[in-house]
Structure formats: C-alpha cells, structure tokens
A and B are shown apart, each in its own frame.
Chain A
C-alpha cells in the first residue's frame, strides 16, 4: 500500500493511503474520542463525536470515515472542534437516562467517559425522551433501548462477526430503535446469546444479565455449601476488570479473591476440561473405529450449540455428545461431591465464573440435570460480574497473595487451559488422542501449531495409527459463527472430508467471549491468548490423560471414559430450537 504523509496536531506521520483520519491519529499517538467507531467493524460515521478540523475542507469531518490524503493537515483540538463535540454529546445525553450512578455500566461506560472528558456540566437541551420496552426475556442478555445511542456497533458485530443479523435499525427519525425483526425479544429470534453485541456496546443498552446478587445471597446463607468453578479464559482477563493490563495471568489472585468472597470450595473448570478431553477424545476414536458420524464437532461453546440447534438441526449428529466443561463440572458438584463428601445435595450451591453470556443460558438447559428438577449449576457469573463482586466486597485484588485451587477438582493440565483460545480444544484433544493411539508416546513437541492463530478457518492433518493402519486425520478449526456457517454449508453439501472440527462462537475463542472485560479488540485478544499459552507452557503436566486426579476419578468413581457412569453424567443430547425468524 502506498504511504501518504498526514500532519495531525503538528505531528507528521506516514500512513497507508487507505487509512482514515482516526487510524492515522492512532499512529500519531493522538486520541480522538469515538462512539460508533470500533477498530474491528465497518466504519459507520454515525455519532459525529470524532469530528476534526481538516485544512481546506468545508466544515468539520468525522475522523473515523474521512480518508487521508497526502499533505493533509488535521487539527483535533481547536475551540470549534471542542465546542462541536460537546454539543454532539449534549444532544446524545438529552435523550439518555440520567441514571449513571445506578447503572450497571457505571464507571465502565464509553459515553460516560466521553462526557467526563469533554467536561460536560449541564445538558442544555430538554425534550421528548425515548420510552421503549426493556427486554429481559432470556437468561443471558438484557437490552434497555432507552440507553441506546444508535451507534450500530451491535448490528455490525452480529452481522460481521457472527453472520446472524439479529439486530437492525427499526423505524426512523426520533422513533429509531435497534431491534430484532418484528421487535421480537431476543429469546424469540435466532440469537445465540454469544454476547458479542454486549462486548461492543459503548453504553448499558446491551448488558449481561446480572446474577451477582443471587451469588452473594448464597454466600451469605450459612445453610449453603457454595462451590465455584472458573473457566480457562477467566484467569487471563479478570485482571483487566480490576485495573491490571490485558494478558496478566491472575489465576492465584482470582483463587484468593474467591476464597475471600466466601466460597467453600474453589475449583477449576480446567479440571473438567481435562475430563472433557477424555470423554470427547475417546468418543472421537470410537466414531473413527466403529464408523460413527464424522466429522465430529466439538460441543464446548454454548453459543455455537445454540447456533447449530437453530440453523443446522440436520447436522446435530455430528456434535460430540460430551457435555461442555462447565456442564461436566456442574454434574460432578451435584453427584460425585455430595456422594463422596457426605454433604446433602440440597445444601450444595454450584457457581461458575465464565467468559461467556451464553453459559447463563446453557445452565438452564433441561438436559443438564443429573438429579431431575435440580440444575447442575445454580448460577453463572461472567468475568465482568466477578470483577464487580470483588470490588463490591472491598477486596484489594492487586495485593492479594497467589493461592492454589482446592483439591481434587482443582488440579488441571496445560491441555485444559488452552480450551480458552481458538484451536485449543483441538490441540488438547490431539495431545491425548495421539498418545492413546501411539502406546502413550507424546505428540512430537506437545504443541500443535497448525491449530493456533487467529485465522478464521484453520485446516491441518495429523498421521496416527488406527487398527494397524496409518490414517491421515483431517482437522478444521473455526472461530466466529460466520466461519462456522462456512464449514456447516460445506458439510451439508458433502464437500467436507474432515474427521474432527472445533468450533468456538466468539472471535479468538473464549478469551474473546461476550462476558469478558471491556474493551475487546485484536490487541487485547492477542495479549490474553499469549497469556493462555504461557500458563500452558508453565504447567508440568500438559496432557489431560496424565492429570493424576482425572486418573483417580476414573479409577475410584467414574469407571472408564464412555463407560456407563460417564454416559449418564458427562454426555448429553441436542434438540432443534425452531425459530420463526
């Protein structure tokens, strides 16, 4: 790409000629406030908060969509620019509920930050206010259209990342709203609850359903025995919610914080991720050897499960029947733990900390009840919600000591933690499958690099001996539902000769999940991903089948992978979720 010279606030930078002013300003280290702009989405130029003065141009230009040209001179901080931005934000605030103090996004709201930065002290405009219905119809996501500033980020995230188009602008003028088709609730349309709209919403118009209060209630109840599990991707992101930089590994501090919050047992979803590999790995081998449905597709990501149940119900037999790690863990907390510890089932309250909004909906699936009528997981909180609980409890997170998970459901391997990134489940499964088929010999190098990286769809092959024959196993890894759709269409058309496919609904996998701290962008995801691989490298045991507590669990209680007990507790079934639109 040809380079052009642009001077912004007296600083000259060379940038590619297809940049817009806002991108050039980033290179120059100059911050321009932004609301509708998001670095990973199509530029819209809707909010006008990013206006700048461009010499020779008529009027002010929106920096996010204004293309650069050679010799361009831009001023981002003149009296006219400041005055205009201020007016733009004042007008937005004129139709925005003045309830920041009691808002879920208080202190974490882009509109609030901009209003503060611009020094807005009064809202000079009064007029009609939007009065739209709040959507609290589902277990995962709450929409409050009255807090919407019509930036359209959610529309674009859903369309461009997930290919689902749940939202669109509806009506016109003052009556404009962002709504699903026919103004249906999210629960009535093809929404997978992946939460990518939540992740990009600059205000509190789209939030995770807050379940912190019920967790606090359980923790305060002396008759409850409260167990918590923490998903792989939470340990590399929670720090961001508490003032630490992206990609900081806070596993030990998170465990310490959970103890201080009062959890009776602090366990790790990583343990059940190892368990998932055992069940899913053996299921894969069983399908290959006995002619089961192939390709087999992973089933850990609940947004993905909702997607296939809504959009590709004919392909459900391809899904691994292995429950997700959260669900396996939930099952253990309501069967193995009360049984072996002598704790009455009704005392146990099982909480999970997830990077995911869709996990809240997974929790209420009727298929996930080991004891009829009793959900295996009682509450799901996102990484963001845990961050808020830690603040609420006055815990000085940064200065906490590093503590260890409780035993035995807290011991895990490096294979488990990489469940948090795209390609991780595939890599973890391969580490075990390869060893099982090669008389316990490790896969060369342990790491399986072709599964790694941020490419949308990755393909790889690996040679393994099956029944005395050398078989080339074909693999595919996809993240985002848009890429998942590409693979599903290939399977439907009979053009996919893969054996094993991993799919995660969110960009980058769970580290980019809809329940993770904001903001999320490519750099943040890269930092979290690198941290996940660091945790893996630092583990002495890096293959699920070598986890001593997994081995002990099978020996003492479960029997064998795909055995009868596993079948009842660790496997599930799927059902079409028909949707009108």
Chain B
C-alpha cells in the first residue's frame, strides 16, 4: 500500500519537473511543490531535482537549508506551531512549549515524534496576541494556555487520529 503511494508521488514529481523544464529560476517553486507531494524533501527527491534542473546538489541543499519552510525530515500527521512572539513570550510560552515537548517525549533537537504523530515547531507570531500564550495545531488555534492545560489538549489530537 505504502509502496504504491510512493510510486504515485514519484510520478507526480516527474510531471512537475516536466512542467518546469527549461524554466529559469524554478528551483523554489519546484521544491515547494515537491514537498507538498512527499510531505518533506527526501534526499532522493533533492538529487532528482538537482539533476533535472541542472543545478548542483550542493546549491539545492544550500537553498533547502536556508529557508525554514523546507524540511529534510518526515513530518508528523499533526503540526503544532507554538508561538514564541513577544506577547506569548511574556505570558509564559516557553513553559507551554516545554510541557508539550515533555508530553510528546521529544529529546534535544528532536521535533517529530518517533511514531510520526506530531511535529512541533516554533513561530514568531500567529496574530492572536490577545489569546497569549497561544499555538496552532493543524488549522485550529488554541489560546490562554498553561503548562497544565496543554497536555490533555494534545492527547485529544492523538486520540482523534487513532
């Protein structure tokens, strides 16, 4: 089953590359769409893009690591965006973040749970300062959080997906 989806993804990538063939300055849109297809940018995909666009793989890797929108590792089914903007910061966003990381059992530097259920990343502001400290899980916004209240909320998503 998984094999089949992967095969389909590569087919889509080939179509994508075909549509951008000979177009100058197409690296970033190609990377963005490739990431949409695969969920992240696997090494093989980058090598393929490098060859097809005739851009050195070192340069492609340089671009991918420059922009935070690109991801080299698989991402979880649920994306948590924890706001660390000024308003959230002064109202204890760090403690909320620590509580989430502890709940998810993430080690230093890890951002995705081993079961691929959650990926957590920090953002500078989600425009909901009145609800500080706040975060987004997928498309839902949650506000006025505390280290105590955040854990059960996460569990709900975990259970939902089950």
Contact = CB atoms under 8 A, between A and B. Distances in A.
Nearest to A581: B57
Contacts of A172: 65-66
Given A580-B47, A581-B47, A181 B66 contact: no
A166 B50 CA distance: 13
A168 B59 contact: yes
A581 B58 CA distance: 9
B21 interface: no
Nearest to B63: A168
Contacts of B50: 581
Nearest to A159: B56
A414 B138 CA distance: 75
A165 B50 CA distance: 12
A581 B46 CA distance: 10
A182 B66 contact: no
Given A580-B47, A581-B47, A181 B65 contact: no
Interface string A137-168: 00000000000000000000001000001111
A171 B65 contact: yes
Contacts of A167: 58
Main secondary structure of the interface of A (DSSP, over half): mixed
B130 interface: no
Contact of B65 (A165, A170, A189): A170
Interface in A548-581: 580-581
B103 interface: no
Contacts of A171: 65-66
B8 interface: no
A169 interface: yes
A168 B47 contact: no
Contacts of B57: 165, 181, 581
A549 to B, nearest CB: 47
B61 A170 contact: yes
Nearest to B61: A181
Interface in A169-192: 169-172, 179-182, 189
Contacts, number: 39
Interface residues of A, number: 16
A168 B43 contact: no
Contacts of A169: 62, 66
B136 interface: no
Contacts of A179: 58, 61
B60 interface: yes
Nearest to A173: B66
A40 B65 CA distance: 29
Contacts of A165: 56-59
B53 to A, nearest CB: 13
A168 B43 CA distance: 16
A171 B62 CA distance: 7
Interface string A343-369: 000000000000000000000000000
Contact of B56 (A168, A170, A182, A580): A168
B56 to A, nearest CB: 3
Contacts of A189: 58
Contacts of B62: 168-170
B152 to A, nearest CB: 35
Nearest to A190: B57
A196 to B, nearest CB: 15
A182 B59 contact: no
B65 A180 contact: no
A165 B57 CA distance: 8
8 contacts: A165-B58, A168-B61, A181-B46, A181-B58, A182-B61, A581-B47, A581-B50, A581-B57
Interface of A: 159, 165-172, 179-182, 189, 580-581
What 6 A-B pairs have minimum CB-CB distances, sorted nearest first?
A165-B56, A168-B62, A168-B58, A181-B57, A181-B61, A181-B58
Given A172-B66, A181-B61, 19 more contacts: A159-B56, A165-B58, A168-B56, A168-B59, A168-B62, A169-B62, A169-B66, A170-B62, A170-B65, A170-B66, A171-B65, A171-B66, A181-B46, A181-B57, A181-B60, A182-B43, A189-B58, A581-B50, A581-B58
